[in-house]
Amino acid sequence: MHQLTDKKMIWLEQKANEIRQSIIEMLVEAKSGHTAGPLGMADIFTALYFHILKHDPTNPMWEDRDRLILSNGHICPVLYAAMAHSGYFKLEELKTLRKFGSRLQGHPHREFLPFVETSSGPLGLGLSQAVGMCLADKMDNDKYSGKQFYCLMSDGELQEGNIWEGIMLATKEKLQNLTVIIDRNNIQISGYTEDIMPLEPLKQKWQAFNWQVQSIDGHNFQEIVGAVGEAQAVFDKPSVIIANTIPGKGVSFMERKYEWHGKPPNKEEGEKALNELRNINVK
Protein backbone atom coordinates (compact mmCIF):
# COMPACT_ATOMS: atom_id res chain seq x y z
CA MET A 1 0.00 0.00 0.00
CA HIS A 2 1.42 3.36 -1.06
CA GLN A 3 1.96 6.21 1.37
CA LEU A 4 -0.96 8.62 1.65
CA THR A 5 0.26 12.07 0.62
CA ASP A 6 -1.56 15.34 1.30
CA LYS A 7 -2.35 15.64 -2.40
CA LYS A 8 -3.80 12.13 -2.52
CA MET A 9 -5.84 12.77 0.63
CA ILE A 10 -7.48 15.84 -0.92
CA TRP A 11 -8.19 13.82 -4.06
CA LEU A 12 -9.80 11.08 -1.96
CA GLU A 13 -11.98 13.62 -0.16
CA GLN A 14 -13.15 14.96 -3.51
CA LYS A 15 -13.84 11.45 -4.79
CA ALA A 16 -15.82 10.57 -1.66
CA ASN A 17 -17.95 13.66 -2.24
CA GLU A 18 -18.62 12.55 -5.83
CA ILE A 19 -19.60 9.10 -4.56
CA ARG A 20 -22.02 10.64 -2.06
CA GLN A 21 -23.62 12.62 -4.88
CA SER A 22 -23.98 9.44 -6.93
CA ILE A 23 -25.63 7.73 -3.95
CA ILE A 24 -28.26 10.47 -3.67
CA GLU A 25 -28.92 10.42 -7.42
CA MET A 26 -29.30 6.62 -7.41
CA LEU A 27 -31.74 6.61 -4.51
CA VAL A 28 -33.87 9.42 -5.91
CA GLU A 29 -34.16 7.55 -9.21
CA ALA A 30 -34.88 4.21 -7.50
CA LYS A 31 -37.43 5.68 -5.06
CA SER A 32 -36.32 3.01 -2.58
CA GLY A 33 -33.21 1.96 -0.73
CA HIS A 34 -31.02 2.91 2.21
CA THR A 35 -29.50 6.36 2.64
CA ALA A 36 -27.78 6.92 6.01
CA GLY A 37 -25.35 3.98 5.93
CA PRO A 38 -24.10 4.47 2.37
CA LEU A 39 -23.41 8.16 2.97
CA GLY A 40 -21.65 7.36 6.23
CA MET A 41 -19.41 4.72 4.65
CA ALA A 42 -18.42 6.70 1.55
CA ASP A 43 -15.00 7.60 2.97
CA ILE A 44 -14.21 3.98 3.89
CA PHE A 45 -15.18 2.70 0.44
CA THR A 46 -13.26 5.49 -1.26
CA ALA A 47 -10.12 4.66 0.72
CA LEU A 48 -10.51 0.98 -0.12
CA TYR A 49 -11.21 1.23 -3.84
CA PHE A 50 -8.87 4.12 -4.60
CA HIS A 51 -5.92 3.52 -2.28
CA ILE A 52 -5.94 0.28 -0.29
CA LEU A 53 -7.36 -2.62 -2.31
CA LYS A 54 -5.24 -4.65 -4.68
CA HIS A 55 -7.70 -4.96 -7.57
CA ASP A 56 -8.05 -4.37 -11.31
CA PRO A 57 -11.37 -3.13 -12.75
CA THR A 58 -10.22 -4.23 -16.23
CA ASN A 59 -9.69 -7.76 -14.91
CA PRO A 60 -12.25 -8.11 -12.08
CA MET A 61 -11.75 -11.86 -11.63
CA TRP A 62 -7.96 -11.54 -11.25
CA GLU A 63 -6.99 -14.41 -8.97
CA ASP A 64 -4.55 -12.42 -6.83
CA ARG A 65 -7.00 -9.60 -6.07
CA ASP A 66 -7.90 -8.69 -2.51
CA ARG A 67 -11.41 -9.74 -1.49
CA LEU A 68 -14.05 -7.34 -0.18
CA ILE A 69 -17.04 -9.00 1.47
CA LEU A 70 -19.98 -6.72 2.25
CA SER A 71 -21.99 -8.25 5.08
CA ASN A 72 -24.54 -5.46 5.52
CA GLY A 73 -25.57 -5.64 1.89
CA HIS A 74 -28.32 -3.04 2.22
CA ILE A 75 -25.66 -0.29 2.03
CA CYS A 76 -24.82 -1.49 -1.50
CA PRO A 77 -25.42 1.95 -3.09
CA VAL A 78 -22.00 2.97 -1.76
CA LEU A 79 -20.43 -0.27 -3.04
CA TYR A 80 -21.95 0.19 -6.51
CA ALA A 81 -20.96 3.85 -6.63
CA ALA A 82 -17.36 3.12 -5.62
CA MET A 83 -17.12 0.33 -8.20
CA ALA A 84 -18.56 2.49 -10.96
CA HIS A 85 -16.30 5.43 -10.16
CA SER A 86 -13.28 3.10 -10.17
CA GLY A 87 -14.18 1.71 -13.61
CA TYR A 88 -16.02 -1.60 -13.14
CA PHE A 89 -19.00 -0.34 -15.12
CA LYS A 90 -20.32 2.97 -16.46
CA LEU A 91 -21.67 5.60 -14.12
CA GLU A 92 -24.93 5.69 -16.07
CA GLU A 93 -25.75 2.18 -14.87
CA LEU A 94 -26.04 3.47 -11.30
CA LYS A 95 -29.43 4.95 -12.24
CA THR A 96 -30.77 1.39 -12.68
CA LEU A 97 -30.52 0.64 -8.95
CA ARG A 98 -33.31 -1.69 -7.79
CA LYS A 99 -35.06 -1.68 -11.18
CA PHE A 100 -36.34 -4.88 -12.81
CA GLY A 101 -33.61 -6.47 -14.91
CA SER A 102 -30.85 -4.37 -13.35
CA ARG A 103 -27.54 -5.86 -12.25
CA LEU A 104 -27.68 -3.50 -9.28
CA GLN A 105 -30.12 -5.19 -6.96
CA GLY A 106 -31.12 -4.00 -3.48
CA HIS A 107 -28.55 -6.44 -2.11
CA PRO A 108 -25.44 -7.45 -4.07
CA HIS A 109 -26.08 -10.60 -6.11
CA ARG A 110 -23.20 -12.47 -7.76
CA GLU A 111 -25.50 -14.08 -10.33
CA PHE A 112 -26.27 -10.63 -11.72
CA LEU A 113 -23.02 -8.82 -10.92
CA PRO A 114 -20.10 -11.26 -10.79
CA PHE A 115 -17.69 -8.47 -9.81
CA VAL A 116 -18.97 -8.67 -6.22
CA GLU A 117 -17.51 -11.40 -4.03
CA THR A 118 -20.71 -12.58 -2.30
CA SER A 119 -24.47 -12.32 -2.45
CA SER A 120 -26.10 -10.93 0.67
CA GLY A 121 -29.48 -10.62 2.29
CA PRO A 122 -29.88 -11.82 5.88
CA LEU A 123 -27.64 -9.81 8.18
CA GLY A 124 -24.86 -11.50 10.13
CA LEU A 125 -23.60 -13.85 7.42
CA GLY A 126 -20.73 -11.87 5.93
CA LEU A 127 -18.14 -12.59 8.58
CA SER A 128 -18.67 -16.35 8.33
CA GLN A 129 -18.36 -16.06 4.54
CA ALA A 130 -15.16 -14.05 4.87
CA VAL A 131 -13.70 -16.49 7.40
CA GLY A 132 -14.49 -19.39 5.08
CA MET A 133 -12.92 -17.69 2.06
CA CYS A 134 -9.83 -16.73 4.05
CA LEU A 135 -9.49 -20.22 5.49
CA ALA A 136 -9.90 -21.80 2.04
CA ASP A 137 -7.16 -19.54 0.70
CA LYS A 138 -4.89 -20.61 3.56
CA MET A 139 -5.61 -24.31 2.87
CA ASP A 140 -5.10 -23.96 -0.88
CA ASN A 141 -1.77 -22.26 -0.50
CA ASP A 142 -0.58 -23.99 2.68
CA LYS A 143 0.68 -20.58 3.75
CA TYR A 144 -0.09 -16.87 3.64
CA SER A 145 -0.91 -16.10 -0.02
CA GLY A 146 -0.58 -12.32 0.08
CA LYS A 147 -4.28 -11.69 -0.51
CA GLN A 148 -6.09 -9.51 1.98
CA PHE A 149 -9.68 -10.22 2.98
CA TYR A 150 -11.82 -7.31 4.13
CA CYS A 151 -15.24 -7.88 5.70
CA LEU A 152 -17.39 -4.77 6.08
CA MET A 153 -20.14 -4.97 8.68
CA SER A 154 -22.70 -2.82 10.43
CA ASP A 155 -22.78 -2.40 14.17
CA GLY A 156 -26.43 -3.45 14.37
CA GLU A 157 -25.74 -6.85 12.88
CA LEU A 158 -23.39 -7.63 15.75
CA GLN A 159 -26.62 -8.50 17.52
CA GLU A 160 -26.70 -11.68 15.38
CA GLY A 161 -25.34 -14.72 17.21
CA ASN A 162 -23.48 -16.34 14.32
CA ILE A 163 -21.22 -13.28 14.09
CA TRP A 164 -19.61 -14.41 17.32
CA GLU A 165 -19.14 -17.94 16.03
CA GLY A 166 -17.20 -16.49 13.09
CA ILE A 167 -15.16 -14.34 15.47
CA MET A 168 -14.12 -17.43 17.45
CA LEU A 169 -13.19 -19.47 14.37
CA ALA A 170 -11.11 -16.66 12.89
CA THR A 171 -9.11 -16.47 16.11
CA LYS A 172 -8.64 -20.23 16.31
CA GLU A 173 -7.27 -20.33 12.77
CA LYS A 174 -5.11 -17.22 13.28
CA LEU A 175 -6.38 -15.61 10.07
CA GLN A 176 -3.82 -12.85 9.91
CA ASN A 177 -4.97 -11.54 6.52
CA LEU A 178 -8.57 -10.97 7.63
CA THR A 179 -9.58 -7.42 8.54
CA VAL A 180 -13.09 -6.59 9.67
CA ILE A 181 -14.27 -2.99 9.37
CA ILE A 182 -17.32 -2.15 11.48
CA ASP A 183 -19.53 0.79 10.57
CA ARG A 184 -20.07 2.10 14.10
CA ASN A 185 -22.78 4.63 13.29
CA ASN A 186 -24.93 3.76 16.34
CA ILE A 187 -28.20 3.39 14.40
CA GLN A 188 -30.36 0.62 13.01
CA ILE A 189 -33.71 0.62 11.28
CA SER A 190 -35.85 1.02 14.40
CA GLY A 191 -33.68 3.30 16.52
CA TYR A 192 -30.31 3.71 18.19
CA THR A 193 -28.27 0.58 18.82
CA GLU A 194 -27.64 1.35 22.47
CA ASP A 195 -31.40 1.63 23.09
CA ILE A 196 -32.32 -1.53 21.19
CA MET A 197 -29.50 -3.90 22.15
CA PRO A 198 -26.46 -2.22 23.71
CA LEU A 199 -23.11 -3.15 22.16
CA GLU A 200 -20.69 -1.35 24.44
CA PRO A 201 -18.02 -1.94 25.57
CA LEU A 202 -17.51 -3.01 21.95
CA LYS A 203 -13.72 -2.72 21.76
CA GLN A 204 -13.21 -4.84 24.88
CA LYS A 205 -15.57 -7.52 23.59
CA TRP A 206 -13.48 -8.07 20.46
CA GLN A 207 -10.29 -7.97 22.52
CA ALA A 208 -11.73 -10.68 24.75
CA PHE A 209 -11.95 -12.90 21.65
CA ASN A 210 -8.23 -12.21 21.01
CA TRP A 211 -8.60 -9.95 17.98
CA GLN A 212 -6.31 -7.03 17.28
CA VAL A 213 -8.62 -4.04 17.77
CA GLN A 214 -8.44 -0.41 16.65
CA SER A 215 -10.99 2.38 16.95
CA ILE A 216 -10.81 5.22 14.42
CA ASP A 217 -12.60 8.21 12.92
CA GLY A 218 -14.23 6.64 9.85
CA HIS A 219 -14.11 9.96 7.99
CA ASN A 220 -10.38 10.59 8.44
CA PHE A 221 -8.39 9.15 5.55
CA GLN A 222 -5.12 9.22 7.47
CA GLU A 223 -6.68 7.14 10.24
CA ILE A 224 -8.39 4.75 7.81
CA VAL A 225 -5.24 4.04 5.84
CA GLY A 226 -3.08 3.92 8.96
CA ALA A 227 -5.39 1.43 10.67
CA VAL A 228 -5.38 -0.90 7.66
CA GLY A 229 -1.60 -0.71 7.53
CA GLU A 230 -1.37 -1.59 11.20
CA ALA A 231 -3.78 -4.51 10.70
CA GLN A 232 -1.61 -5.87 7.90
CA ALA A 233 1.41 -5.79 10.23
CA VAL A 234 -0.19 -8.30 12.63
CA PHE A 235 0.94 -11.88 11.97
CA ASP A 236 -0.80 -14.06 14.55
CA LYS A 237 -4.43 -12.97 14.72
CA PRO A 238 -7.23 -11.32 12.72
CA SER A 239 -7.90 -7.60 13.05
CA VAL A 240 -10.98 -5.45 13.51
CA ILE A 241 -11.26 -1.74 12.87
CA ILE A 242 -14.17 -0.01 14.62
CA ALA A 243 -14.86 2.93 12.31
CA ASN A 244 -16.87 5.61 14.08
CA THR A 245 -19.02 7.20 11.40
CA ILE A 246 -21.83 9.72 11.06
CA PRO A 247 -24.89 8.21 9.39
CA GLY A 248 -26.04 10.48 6.56
CA LYS A 249 -22.60 12.15 6.48
CA GLY A 250 -22.47 15.29 4.32
CA VAL A 251 -26.19 16.06 4.34
CA SER A 252 -27.17 18.14 7.37
CA PHE A 253 -30.82 17.08 7.62
CA MET A 254 -29.88 13.39 7.45
CA GLU A 255 -26.88 13.24 9.76
CA ARG A 256 -27.28 11.08 12.90
CA LYS A 257 -30.97 10.46 12.26
CA TYR A 258 -31.93 6.78 12.35
CA GLU A 259 -35.06 7.58 10.35
CA TRP A 260 -32.85 7.80 7.25
CA HIS A 261 -31.50 4.29 7.74
CA GLY A 262 -33.93 2.64 5.34
CA LYS A 263 -35.64 5.35 3.30
CA PRO A 264 -34.57 7.25 0.17
CA PRO A 265 -34.88 10.99 -0.40
CA ASN A 266 -37.69 12.21 -2.61
CA LYS A 267 -36.90 14.51 -5.53
CA GLU A 268 -37.01 17.71 -3.46
CA GLU A 269 -34.94 16.21 -0.62
CA GLY A 270 -32.50 14.85 -3.18
CA GLU A 271 -31.97 18.29 -4.73
CA LYS A 272 -31.42 19.80 -1.29
CA ALA A 273 -28.91 17.07 -0.42
CA LEU A 274 -27.06 17.46 -3.72
CA ASN A 275 -26.83 21.22 -3.27
CA GLU A 276 -25.21 20.71 0.13
CA LEU A 277 -22.73 18.17 -1.21
CA ARG A 278 -21.84 20.29 -4.25
CA ASN A 279 -21.08 23.24 -1.97
CA ILE A 280 -18.71 21.35 0.32
CA ASN A 281 -15.30 22.95 -0.03
CA VAL A 282 -12.60 20.27 -0.06
CA LYS A 283 -9.07 21.62 0.36
For the chain, what are the domain ranges? 6-278
Q: Which residues on adjacent β-strands are paired with residue 154? A: 183
pLDDT tens-digit profile of 31-84? 999 999 999 999 999 999 999 999 999 999 999 999 999 999 999 999 999 999
> How high is the pLDDT of residue 190?
95
Identify residue 22 by its one-letter amino acid code. Answer: S
pTM of this structure: 0.97
pLDDT band, residue 143 (cuts 50/70/90): low
Q: What are phi and psi of 153, to 5 degrees?
A: -135, 160
Give mean pLDDT, residues 175-185.
97
How far apart CA 245 and CA 193 sit, in angstroms, is 14
SS3 of 17-40: HHHHHHHHHHHHHHCCCCCHHHHH
89: helix, coil or strand? Answer: coil
**Which residues does 85 contact at the CB level (< 8 Å), separation at least 6?**
15, 18, 19, 22, 49, 91
CATH of domain 6-278: 3.40.50.970
> How high is the pLDDT of residue 212?
98
Has residue 145 got a pLDDT over 90?
A: no
> How high is the pLDDT of residue 113?
93
> How high is the pLDDT of residue 3?
85
> How high is the pLDDT of residue 96?
98
Q: Which residues on adjacent β-strands are paired with residue 150? A: 68, 179
Q: What are phi and psi of 31, to 5 degrees?
A: 65, 20
216: helix, coil or strand? Answer: strand
> How high is the pLDDT of residue 146?
87
Cis peptide before 238 (omega within 30 of 0): no
Exposed/middle/buried for residue 169 (C-beta within 10 Å: 0-12, 13-18, 19+):
middle
